[in-house]
A = this chain, B = another copy of it.
Amino acid sequence: MRSLYVIKIGGTIIDDEAKLSSFLKSFASIEDKKILVHGGGKLATKLAQKMGIEQKLIDGRRITDAETLKIVTMVYAGYVNKNIVAQLQSFDCNTIGLTGVDGDIILAHKRKHSVIDYGFVGDVDAVNIPLLKNLLDQNLSLVFAPITHDQQGQLLNTNADTIAQEIAKAMSRHYEVNLIYSFEKSGVLLDVNDETSVIQELNWNEYQKLKTPPRTPLGDGGKIFAGMIPKLDNAFAALNSGVKKVIIGKAEELEKLMKGTAGTTINND
């Protein structure tokens, strides 16, 4: 099986022109098949402020009303996506920028929740594997903005980590998939304030111990930063669905993450 890298880029790097450009240069140099999934950084929030639209977050997820959906569609699918593609083209990496609505690549439904109304937020139902495979077979790299649709004409805002995970899982039927979550941290840290405390390898049992609060019988837990838990739950879910390897680490160290000499590698042992 051929290798495929599915790389999520998130955090503040999207807003840092020099760091983003250096990351994209590393991405462009990957010789295997590759898919990049990005968010929108702080630009969406800044634009909303300029337009006088109030933003709401619950558990780190944006509540997406109609105006916010408009903004994220403009910023993620328009500005950020097309600028990333333009840069990759300049590095001789022929790339196509997409959202889930394009080619019906990611079908979703509006989230139903008994208490919170998340607004126009989509949970993924299906990935159009043949079209993704065909595009990759044409030596195109793919860059996804985290927007999906419901087949009824409604765009939906979808968590970029989830999109990366769903694409990685779906494509693992045809490729040996490496899923990389890259952001501003060096990896999964034992101490959130100490960038040198990176856990190099993490398996399911270790993860259970580390995330369990310290006063319970398992002892030394509670060490994993709460904000990291959805990312790690996603990582293990991906491994359980056929993804070969999940790596979490600093976007600036992409080449080292791929070699396993930086970041945290998640195993399913």
From B83, B89, B131, B151, contact of A73 by CB (8 A): B83
- Least Cβ–Cβ distance between A71 and chain B, in angstroms: 9
- Least Cβ–Cβ distance between A98 and chain B, in angstroms: 7
Interface presence of A102 (CB below 8 A): yes
A74-B78, A82-B73, A131-B138 as given contacts; A95 in contact with B103, CB under 8 Å = yes
Mask: chain A, 35-77; 1 = CB below 8 Å from B; 0 = not: 0000000000000001100000000000000000010011111
> Which residues 245-262 of A have a CB within 8 angstroms of B?
none
Please, how many angstroms separate the alpha-carbon atoms of A59 and B138 in the complex? Answer: 40
Contact B87 A78 (CB under 8 A): no
Most buried by B among A75, A97, A153, A154: A153
Residues of the B chain whose Cβ atoms lie less than 8 Å from the Cβ of A77:
77-78, 81-82
Please, how many angstroms separate the alpha-carbon atoms of A99 and B140 in the complex? Answer: 15
Please, how many angstroms separate the alpha-carbon atoms of A134 and B103 in the complex? Answer: 13
Interface presence of A104 (CB below 8 A): yes
Contact A79 B73 (CB under 8 A): yes
Residues of the B chain whose Cβ atoms lie less than 8 Å from the Cβ of A85:
101-102, 149
From B76, B81, B152, contact of A90 by CB (8 A): B152
Interface presence of A86 (CB below 8 A): yes
Main secondary structure of the interface of A (DSSP, over half): helix
Residues of the B chain whose Cβ atoms lie less than 8 Å from the Cβ of A82:
73, 77, 99, 101-102, 147, 155
**Complex: chain B residue closest to A75, CB-CB:** B74
**Complex: chain B residue closest to A154, CB-CB:** B86
Interface presence of A94 (CB below 8 A): yes
Contact B86 A155 (CB under 8 A): yes
- Least Cβ–Cβ distance between A195 and chain B, in angstroms: 31
- Least Cβ–Cβ distance between A117 and chain B, in angstroms: 21
9 more contacts with CB within 8 A, not counting A74-B79, A97-B99, are: A51-B51, A74-B75, A85-B101, A86-B149, A89-B104, A90-B151, A95-B103, A96-B102, A131-B140
Can you list the 4 inter-chain pairs with the closest CB atoms, starting with the nearest?
Answer: A78-B78, A90-B153, A74-B74, A74-B78
List 9 A–B pairs whose Cβ atoms lie within 8 Å, in order of A's numbering.
A74-B78, A75-B78, A77-B78, A85-B149, A87-B153, A89-B104, A96-B98, A98-B102, A131-B138
